[in-house]
Amino acid sequence: MSTERTLADLAPSEQGRIRTVVGTDGLTQRLWELGFTPGQRVDVVRFAPLGDPIQVRVRGFDVALRRNEARRILLESEEA
């Protein structure tokens, strides 16, 4: 079907549900540890003035990350 939907595809104030985070390196591990875990809801709060990085909310706290990193966070295709 279509290509995978990721956190980087969302616009400000859109949200999605995390399917998984890809990768095995330190950054992926840190994302997992911070609570970007399967089934969690994640909101895009806003983009930085220059369009990157983006501010997202997971488990009630805010994190800034670049689009490039947000692409590792895969979302469930359809909102249930």
**Contacts to another protein from residues 39-58, by CB under 8 A:** 45-46, 48-53, 55
Least distance (Å) from another protein to the CB of residue 34? 6
Give the span between the Cα atoms of 78 and 2, in whole angstroms. 12
59 binds another protein (CB under 8 A): yes
**CA–CA–CA angle 14, 49, 2 (5° rounding):** 40
Count of residues that interact with another protein, criterion CB under 8 A: 33
Give the span between the Cα atoms of 12 and 46, in whole angstroms. 5
13 binds another protein (CB under 8 A): no
Residues of this chain that interact with another protein (CB under 8 A) are: 20, 24-35, 37, 45-46, 48-53, 55, 59-66, 68-69
